[in-house]
Chain A
Amino acid sequence: MTSFAAAASAPASPAGSPAWLTFRDALHAEWTKLRTVPGTIWLLGGVVVATAALGAVADAATRCAAAAAACQVDPARTSLTGIYLSQAVVVILAVLTVGNEYGTGMIRLTLTAVPRRTTVLAAKAAVLTVLVLAAGTIAIAAAILAGQLILPGHGFTAAHGYPALSPADGPVLRAACGSVVYLGLIGLLSLGAAAALRDTAAATGVVLGLLFLFPIIAMVAGPDGDRHLQQIGPMTAGMAIEDTTGLRGLPIAPWAGLGVLAAWAAVSLVAGWLVLRRRDA
């Protein structure tokens, strides 16, 4: 806490007034906070390990002995299965970014140092997004690499109509980059929820419920309801970005799906921003 106060106030308050603090200082403060919490580096490492490990397991469990049409397996999507797990790690990281401050009362100090609440939220969102995107890039690269190494040995060969999994291929590149963006958006969704609910536990439950319940309820909602729920669920729609084959049969197109998730994240951030502005900390 002391190191944060020093870092935040020393360089840019010549007149001793917090109003002089710029967005850069707020960013610096948030970066220092996140950097010095011991959990951050483990959680970011967890994102990489979860994505690569579960992806490799899914690669190893999938086999295709016939032509592509008979297998109906999307190799890019299979390699990126780990996102299901690593998004949960991103949720923890993002929720704690705000929730810890309310839990410890740190939020009052933060808002004393940076009274502009919009600036605080924006700085938190920026620092979190950069970290998640960085970890996500490494994670997705590792998952695609695992797919390149494992899948050809399991029948995903040119002879069966599967070209080698390569980021040079347009749809695969879209799936890979889109998955990184997906993780970033999940972070923002969680951050907004934590700011709106001001409670770590409730925010975690709500975000994970939003992610996991849509596809489960879709299973029993009948054929029409099934499609609609998959179109509006943040996880089911957002993960459409991972599809590289059979796009016509999907409930939602890849970029449109990622747009749905972005809308969820925007709504959540706005709700968090309103609560942060209106209410006492």
Chain B
Amino acid sequence: MSTASITEYRSGLQGAPDRFSSVLRAEWTKFRTVRGWVIGILIAALVTAGIALLDHSECGGPNGAACTSPVGPAGEAVTDSFYFVHQPLAVNGSITARMTALTAMAAGQSGLAPWTKAGIIIKASTRPGSAYAAMMLTGSHGVRMQYDYTADIAGMPGRVSAASPRWLRLTRSGDTVTGYDSADGTAWTVVGTAHLTGLPATVQAGMFATSPGTTVPGSRSLTGSSSGGALSLATGVFDHVSLRGGQAAGAWTGSGIGGGGAGFAGPGTSAGYHQAGGSLTVTGTGDIAPVVAGNGDGTPVEQLLTGVFGGLIAVIVVAAMFMTAEYRRGLIRVTLAASPRRGRVLAAKAVVIGSVSFLAGLAGAVVALAAGEPLLRSNGNYILPVSTLTDVRVMAGTAALVAVTAILAVALGALLRSSAAAITIAITVVVLPYLLGQTVLPAGAADWVLRITPAAAFAIQQTTPQYPQVTASYTPAQGYFPLAPWAGFAVLCAYAALALGLAVVILRRRDA
């Protein structure tokens, strides 16, 4: 019997290095080997895409009007209807006029809307949607310079009257149009300068009048939104009209642009113009403005992404189980023994479920838009055109929204260790506020709910911007969110980061 010392047994195997990549690989293996979770994520993608195909909205324009809009120089849908009294204008020239009155009639009474407009305008052609720059008087926003539908610059404030007239001037030099206003016709102030790319050599210059109808708020459903209300007819009175750079002894021509020549039956109540002595009176209806969702007949493209709510619920269920199943089966003890740095485990879970959800959301959103748009068009709907960049933002943003929501659900699962509670809370804070804001709460409360809850993130799907110079009901029910797209998304990210941070602290402190 020798007294040889017993050497302590040491395994010849190398322990797996405790690197983030190995933890990540472990979590990915857990995810992909549970069939129910993989099916859940696939269901999320399918539901996101599938509900778009159920969209059976039909265009319901007033009087069965065709649902289409002219497109402005920047590619956005625009309303371009007004009464135009015009003459050709050469490459260099100017138009000046004095306005002494702006009135409007709607259904037999004064219908002066805040953005009833009349003034002088230089426009590429009489085609609706062509480039323009205009100096105008408005119902209650004073003198404005507006150009190319979306730009709006304030000039002299106050209302016009015979005692306090307004002088307006537009000068053209090539593609550049400058607007001036004046109270007396001698001291001129520059209001703004517009660069209208691609103006033809000969453009149309003259006077215009237009007034949006009195709108009634659309119904609460996204599809039933209709722009009803009474037609309003604006009348502007001009004198001291002078045109430089026009044809010698040119005569004025009156045209109703884009339906802006409509009017009421009866004398003195239809669109048109007449000259008497030195003064010229122009009457017209419509608006020169970008189309906003809920005001026109266009369908915003994000309506096709309604299916994301179904996808979100499936992703939340899978993401919460990804964490809570560890507790139910006791696997968490093995997981933490293999990788004792607990924050790292949670980070790996967040990365795995976030990436998988992002891909599912992206696939769902891309298919929803690609398949849904032709379907909507075939039903006679007009989809409001958006830039490619906006399209990408909507699709990638939707995918990111799904991914961050999944991370929120994982964090809630780690905090609560109960799948029922984690899933319910995640769905209640992400989906329910949106539903309440759309259907139940009054507009003011809906705005607040969509500011402070994670549901603010749905702002990332909004494609139609809000314009202060267009009167419309900018409410969540019409698809307008109180926060800017990325700001709304940041709210969700902040909640997810907070939950994940708390989950790391709790996971470190508590027994598993």
Residues of chain A whose beta carbon lies under 8 Å from any beta carbon of chain B = 39, 57-58, 61-63, 73, 81, 84-85, 88-89, 91-92, 95-96, 99, 103, 200-205, 208-209, 212-213, 215-226
Contact = CB atoms under 8 A, between A and B. Distances in A.
Interface string B32-43: 000010000000
Contact of A201 (B221, B224, B317): B317
B436 A205 contact: no
Contacts of B435: 84, 212, 215-216
B56 A225 contact: yes
B428 A220 contact: no
Interface string B140-180: 00000000000000000000000000000000000000000
B55 A212 contact: no
Given A203-B420, A222-B223, 14 more contacts: A62-B442, A201-B321, A201-B420, A201-B423, A204-B420, A212-B313, A212-B431, A213-B313, A219-B222, A220-B223, A221-B57, A222-B58, A223-B221, A226-B224
A73 B440 CA distance: 10
A111 to B, nearest CB: 20
B222 A220 contact: yes
B324 A201 contact: yes
Contacts of A200: 418-420
| Interface SS majority for chain A | helix
A103 B329 CA distance: 9
18 contacts: A84-B432, A84-B435, A84-B440, A88-B427, A88-B428, A95-B420, A103-B328, A201-B324, A205-B317, A208-B431, A213-B310, A216-B306, A216-B434, A217-B306, A219-B221, A222-B223, A223-B223, A225-B56
Given A63-B442, A84-B436, A201-B423, A212 B221 contact: no
B223 A226 contact: yes
Contacts of A219: 221-223, 306, 438-439
Contacts of A81: 436, 440-441
A201 B313 contact: no
B54 A204 contact: no
A68 B420 CA distance: 42
A58 B55 CA distance: 31
B370 interface: no
Closest 4 CB pairs of A and B: A61-B445, A205-B317, A201-B419, A222-B56
A81 B440 CA distance: 8
Interface string B431-462: 11011101111101100100000000000000
A208 B223 contact: no
B421 interface: yes
Contacts of B242: none
Nearest to A63: B442
B313 A208 contact: yes
Contacts of A217: 51, 54, 306, 310
A99 B418 CA distance: 11
Nearest to A71: B442
B445 to A, nearest CB: 3
B320 A201 contact: yes
A92 B223 contact: no
B316 interface: yes
B298 to A, nearest CB: 15
A281 to B, nearest CB: 16
Contacts of A85: 428, 432
B326 to A, nearest CB: 13
A18 to B, nearest CB: 28
B423 A218 contact: no
| Interface SS majority for chain B | helix
A172 B321 CA distance: 41
A213 B432 CA distance: 10
A281 B320 CA distance: 24
B424 interface: yes
A263 to B, nearest CB: 22
Given A103-B328, A213-B310, A204 B440 contact: no
Given A201-B321, A201-B419, A217-B51, A209 B313 contact: yes
Given A62-B442, A84-B432, A202 B420 contact: no
B303 interface: yes
Contacts of A224: 56
B101 interface: no
Given A209-B310, A212-B435, A220 B424 contact: no
A75 to B, nearest CB: 13
B316 A222 contact: no
B432 A205 contact: no
A58 B433 CA distance: 13
Interface in B362-377: none
A202 B441 CA distance: 30
Given A205-B314, A213-B309, A88 B424 contact: yes
Interface centre among A85, A209, A220 (most CB of B within 10 A): A220
B55 A221 contact: yes
Contacts of B55: 220-222
Nearest to A222: B56
B440 A216 contact: no
A220 B303 contact: yes
Contacts of A215: 435, 439
A205 to B, nearest CB: 4
Interface string B396-437: 000000000000000000000011110110011001101110
Contacts of B303: 220
Contacts of A58: 440-441, 445
Contacts of A91: 420, 424
Contacts of A209: 310, 313-314
A62 B314 CA distance: 34
B306 A204 contact: no
A200 to B, nearest CB: 5
Contacts of B316: 205
A226 B316 CA distance: 26
Contacts of B431: 208, 212, 216
Contacts of B60: 223
A57 B445 contact: yes
Contacts of B424: 88-89, 91-92, 204, 208
